Chains A and B, each alone.
Chain A
C-alpha cells in the first residue's frame, strides 16, 4: 500500500475562497446565535449583582409583597412595599389583554383565512408598521389625547388610568400577537380545511371547529408573548398610567407599574444605596416573571411543532 503523494493531498485540499467564505459565515452565525445567550446571562448576572446587596440586607419579604408603602426617599422612615406596583402592572396588563386579544385574533383570522392577494399583503405590512411606532409616541398620545378623551367620555376626574394605559398597551401588543397568531393559523395544514369543506362545513364552521382548535397552542403562545410585551413596556406606561401608588377599584383609577417606577427613579438614585438595590430587586422580579411567561410560550410553540 503506497502512501499518497503530496501532490495528491494538495489536490484533495479544497480550501479555496468559497470554502473560507463558507466557514466564516458559519462562525459569524455561531457568534450571533451564542451572543444572545451570553447577553441574557450577562444581564441577569448584572441585575442580580446590583440587587443582591438589598435582597440580603434591607429586604423584607412581607413588606415587599404586601405593603403599599413605596417610600424609598422618606426623611422619616424608608419603606419598600411593592404590592401596589405589582397590582398596578397586573391590572394594566390585564386591561391590555382584554383589548389586544379580540383585536389581534380577529385580525389574524381575517388575514390568514379570508384576505387574499393585495389586501392580505398590505394588511400584513400595516400591522407590522404598527409595531414600529416608538413607545414614547404612544405614551404621548396617552398623556395628551387619551387623557382629555377619557375625561370627556366618562366624566372622571383624571384620564391617566388603567383604561388609558391598557388601551395604549393593547394597541402596542396587538401587532406582535397578530403576526404570531397568523403564523399559527398558517401552520394548520390545508388538508384539514379541505377535509372539513368536503364534509359540507361552512367557512365559519371550518374556522371555529377545525382551524382554531388545531392552532390552539400557537394562539396561546401569541397571547403569552403579548402579555410579556405589555408587562415589560415602560415609557408608554409611565406616561399614560398616572404613575400613582394606588390599588385600583375600577379602570378609571390611576396606578403605577413596576417598570415605570424603575424608569422614573433609577436615574437619580445614588449607586449602591438601598433605594438603588430595591429598584434592581424590582428588576429581578420583572425578569423572572417575563422569563416564566416566555418559557411557557416557548414550550407551547414546541407543542405544536411536535404534532
Chain B
C-alpha cells in the first residue's frame, strides 16, 4: 500500500504550507513589529512610512487590533512596540513582569476625546456630570428634554447612546475620566471602531457618541466640555488637549518590553523628535512635545 502513503502526504503538505506564510526577517534589514490601538494606527502607519526615508534599513510593520491586543502581543513577545490609547493596567504590568518583560512606557502624543452630536442638535456645551448621568450606570438622563433641548428630527426624545466595545482603549479611558471607574449603563450601541461611532452619529438625530478628535468629520457637531460647575467650557482642539485645559484628553502610549535597544530605541527617539512630532500633529492629534513644524504638516 505504498500509494496510500504518497497521497496522504499531499494534503498534509498543503496544510503545513499555510503555516509558512510569515515573512522571514531579512539579514540586513531590521523589522520592527508594531501593533495595538486603533486610535493610534493611522499615526503609527504614517510614522512607519516616513521612517523609510530616514532609515531605509529599518522596516516598521504596523497592525491595529486595539490597545489590549498590542499589550497581549508584547506579553507573548511577538511585537517590539505596543501602541496603546490607555495606560497599562496593573494586572497587565504584573503579567508582563512575570513573562520577563518589564514594560517601559513612552508618551508619544495626546488625544482629545471629543463628544459627537448630530449637526441638528442644539446643544453647544455639555458637562462631565451630564455625560456621567447619560452614560453611567444609575444615571438619570434618558431624554434630550432633560438637558433642556428639543432635537429636530428626534421625535422620540430618547438619547441614543453610542459607545465602544468593552475592551477598547477609548472605552476604558471614557470610563476612567467621565464615569470615574463606575460601570456604563446597559443598552448603549457599542460600535466596533471610532469611525463607526462617527458614521452612526452622523446619520442619527437622537445620537450622542465619543471618540478621538482625529476621527471627527464636518458632519458631526462637537460641543465644548465643562469639567466643574463654574469652569469655562473648552472645545476639543489640538491645542486644548496639549495645554491640558480640555478635561478629557488622554496621553497616547507606546510600550516596549524593557528599555528599548538598537533600532527600536532609534525609532522611538525619532518619533519624539521634531520630525516625528510634526507627523502626529498633521494627523490631527496633539504632539507630546512642542515641535516647530515648517509647513502645516500634510
Contacts and interface: CB of A to CB of B under 8 A. Distances in A.
A joins B in a complex: yes
Contact of B204 (A20, A158, A270): A158
B8 A268 contact: no
23 contacts: A32-B11, A73-B167, A75-B175, A75-B181, A76-B182, A147-B203, A151-B203, A157-B204, A158-B200, A158-B204, A158-B206, A242-B189, A243-B191, A244-B187, A244-B190, A246-B186, A256-B190, A267-B66, A268-B65, A268-B69, A268-B167, A269-B72, A270-B72
A217 interface: no
Contact of A73 (B65, B172, B196): B172
Interface residues of B, number: 46
Contacts of A236: none
Interface of A: 20, 23-24, 27-28, 31-32, 35, 68-76, 84, 143-144, 147-148, 151, 155-160, 238-239, 242-246, 254, 256, 263-265, 267-271, 275
B149 to A, nearest CB: 15
B172 to A, nearest CB: 7
Given A24-B6, A73-B167, A157 B187 contact: no
Nearest to B166: A73
Given A157-B206, A270-B95, A143 B175 contact: no
Nearest to A35: B11
A147 B200 contact: yes
Interface of B: 3-4, 6-8, 10-11, 65-69, 72, 75, 92, 95, 154-156, 158, 160, 165-168, 172, 175, 181-184, 186-192, 196, 199-200, 203-207
Contacts of A242: 189
B165 A71 contact: no
Given A151-B204, A271-B72, 5 more contacts: A69-B186, A159-B204, A244-B190, A270-B72, A270-B75
Given A156-B156, A157-B156, A268 B66 contact: yes
Given A24-B7, A157-B154, A157-B160, A245 B186 contact: yes
A115 to B, nearest CB: 40
Given A23-B3, A143-B196, A148-B203, A269 B191 contact: no
A72 B166 contact: yes
Contacts of B184: 71
Nearest to B159: A157
Contacts of A32: 11
By Cβ-Cβ distance, the 9 closest A-B pairs, closest first, are A268-B68, A157-B206, A268-B167, A268-B66, A264-B165, A75-B181, A245-B186, A27-B7, A246-B187
A239 B196 CA distance: 9
